Amino acid sequence: MKAIHMIKAGPASTALRSVEIPEPEILTPTQIKVQLKAAGVNPVDTKLRERGVFYPDALPAILGCDGAGIVTGTGRDAGRFRPGDAVWFCHGGLGGAQGNYAGYTVLDESEAAAKPAQLDFEEAAALPLVLITAWEALFDRARLIEGQTVLIHAGAGGVGHVAIQLAKTAGARVATTVSNPEKADFVRQLGADHVIPYRDRDFVEDVMEWTGGQGIDVVLDSLGGETFRKSLDAACVYGQIVTLLDPGNDIDWRTARNRNLGIHFTLMLTPMLQDLPRARQHQVDILARCAELVAERKLRPHVSLVLPLEDTAKAHELVEDGHVQGKIVLKI
């Protein structure tokens, strides 16, 4: 089968290589074999390629956590899916289990969910990692509820554009930051109530004005650094801040303490990295629940570009450029 090997850490042009390798085989009774039709490209893929995978002795490795495809075989005890079923999932791609930049993959049936019929394979492959990340941040960590305000940084990005939609389904009022007018129009179409052009306006002053001086109930930070530090000033008393990144060491926590802020981290890869079956099942349940939102037309991914598998290096370079609206997907 065709696959993209990461042969070393470094730039995409030298670290990634197109290869022909044998198809993976079912090894346990509950595994399924999937012919991959599409694979999502995420920032974590580019970071692993640049810095090295979590399991350095696993090179060459196949990256790509997000996949969607058709079941072609099942283990003797697998009963959830049959050959011909369409599935989507977040599995592998960290240097241990095989990722999805390939023609086929094998995974336990418990780690896959039925693909929403309303999505094509490219759209389905765009969603799992960002969707689980946004859900865990908003609902599992921050406990967002109807009527609250939420600030979603980088609303036009992969996590941001699904987080806006999820927050709106919960009945929240959504503010979001963007870099240009095109992205402002995009997030308004997703349902954002208030759009902040962060290059022209200070987002702390903006949200304070928008909330009548109260501050934001929930902040979702996907940028870290100065954005996280300033978000402490944007949150209301007893507010919740969820960050996807390391906030750094030079944080003055006095504002957070005085306001009784809840500070949360979310890394949706933890269940895979630490082999936590119950947590992985919860993530599959998130996909199933979000499939209902897709069916109700309350959730839709935005795929800005579809590239063939052999253009994986180009896809990585575009993601690293930082101007992608929504997601880039590889067609296999």
Domains and CATH numbers, the chain: 2-127+273-331 (3.90.180.10), 130-265 (3.40.50.720)
Give the pLDDT band of residue 248 (cuts 50, 70, 90).
confident
pLDDT of 250 over the 90 cut:
no
Query: What pLDDT was estimated at residue 252?
Result: 87
The token duo for 324 is: 């992608």
- How far, in Å, CA of 18 to CA of 16, rounded? 7
Nearest alpha carbon to residue 68 among 110, 34, 94, 98: 34
Query: What pLDDT was estimated at residue 57?
Result: 79
Per-residue pLDDT averaged across 269-291, rounded?
96
Per-residue pLDDT averaged across 10-26, rounded?
98
Instruction: Report the run of H or E that residue 14 belongs to, with start and end.
Output: helix 12-15
Per-residue pLDDT averaged across 31-47, rounded?
97
For the chain, give the mean pLDDT: 96
Going along the chain, which residue ranges are E strands? 2-6, 16-20, 31-41, 66-74, 86-90, 104-108, 113-114, 149-152, 173-178, 194-197, 216-221, 235-243, 262-265, 303-308, 327-331
The token duo for 202 is: 């200070």
pLDDT of 56 over the 80 cut:
no
Per-residue pLDDT averaged across 77-91, rounded?
97
Q: pTM score, two decimals?
A: 0.96
Q: Is 188 or 225 the better-scoring residue by pLDDT?
A: 188
Give the pLDDT band of residue 184 (cuts 50, 70, 90).
very high
- Residue 190: strand, helix, or coil: helix
Query: What pLDDT was estimated at residue 266?
Result: 96
Inter-helix orientation angle 43-51/312-321, to 10°:
100
Per-residue pLDDT averaged across 229-243, rounded?
97
The token duo for 72 is: 């072609």
Beta bridge partners of 4: 18
Query: What pLDDT was estimated at residue 195?
Result: 98
